Amino acid sequence: MELYENSDPAFTRWVVEAGLLSSSFVVIDIGCQGGEHTRWRWLGDQLELHGFDALEEAVRELQGLNQRATNKHFYNLALGNEDGERELFIQQNAYATSVYEQGDNSRMSVDASTYTNSERRRVPIRKLDSLFAEGLLTRADFIKLDCEGFEPEILKGAQQFLRTAKPIGVETETSFHVSPVLPRTHIFAVNETLIEHKLVLFDLAFSRVPRSSFAAALGGEYGLAFGQPATFNILFARDLVTERDFPMSYLVPPIAETASADMVIKSAILFELYGLVDCAYEVIAQFAAALPASFDVEKALALLCNASGLPDTRTPSGANSELNAVYNSTSWRITAPMRAIRRRLSGGSGGAIAPRR
């Protein structure tokens, strides 16, 4: 369910090695247990990371592992739309720990066994707006949220921060499930907030979870994913070209502003790291005039055109072209899980499903 990670971001490496950024790339990681994503390693010492997690032991571990990293900071805080304390429901699977009790929010998975409460704990909770007012956080280029359904509350408590920091991207976990807390769906609440800050969907990845009765009938043994889409990871980002050329497309038209060189370069970096090299190319080409003379635009575009860290999706020629067309067809991919189930239940490579006894 991970969003794509570019394994060879040549443009980003060049920018970092040549020192072409005038300010560090600031990432705020909310729900940081396990550490930051490996895609940020390409930023080297140009990365400034602020990680937040309500689980004390997770933060303590990260602080220990990063004692010598002066550009990485970790805080034992829950974030939300309030300043005070909140009850934390700690699960056996620590990554499912949440400020929501099971059933209260738009749960990202229908596997209830993941959410068996094992401990409750009072933890401090703060608003990003409060941390911004106090000077702990002054800006952000990117925000990652993975907080087991609490993301809309965190965004509500960050309105002033988002208006001032103007991040170029946000990655969030979300779902289309309805719940008593979010009857219009989690994704609606997240999108409603982010679109006001000119952050629009650029990519998504999702997992499927089968209904428990069907999974039990197969004995929990199934290699291919099937079922209703459950959890989504979505990349929202600023579309600088659309903002400039079609400002009236937005519910709240963007205030006319000149994109700075750092904003343009960081936007291209973000797109490249997520494998969206076409978007990275466009922003450099369209805003070349905003870049300093020391920035070699032709080299930047050449590096993006010759991307090598992406999957090769070109259709092979010759004898394999027909097979490739069948494999990539929508109907073939949609029906693949059911063909696998048919083979499993019939005990062979095809044929009719064995009758129930």
Q: Please state, in angstroms and rounded to a whole number, the distance separating the CA atoms of residues 150 and 11.
A: 35
Using CA atoms, how far apart are residues 68 and 230, in angstroms rounded to an integer? Answer: 39
What band does 326 get if pLDDT is binned at 50, 70 and 90?
very low
Query: Residues 312-321: what's their mean pLDDT?
Result: 47
Q: 80 and 153 in contact (C-beta within 8 Å)?
A: yes
**Where are any strands of DSSP class E within 96-195?**
117-126, 142-145, 169-174
CA 163, distance to chain mean position in Å, is 20
Tokens found for residue 18: 């040549």
- For the domain made up of 10-311, the CATH class stated in words is alpha beta
Q: What is the pTM of this model?
A: 0.83
Where exactly are the structural domains of the chain? 10-311, 320-357
pLDDT-based confidence at residue 108 (cuts at 50, 70, 90): very low
pLDDT value at residue 210: 87
pLDDT in tens, 48-94: 999 999 999 999 999 999 999 999 999 999 999 999 999 887 766 55
Phi-psi region of 275 (alpha: psi -120 to 50; beta: other; left: phi over 0): left
Question: Per-residue confidence at 156, pLDDT binned at 50, 70, 90?
Answer: very high
Lookup: tokens for 286: 């369209």
Six token digits for residue 203: 């990519």
pLDDT surpassing 50 at residue 200: yes
CA distance 263 to 99: 34
pLDDT at 114 over 60: no
Q: Is the model's pLDDT at 324 over the cut of 50?
A: no
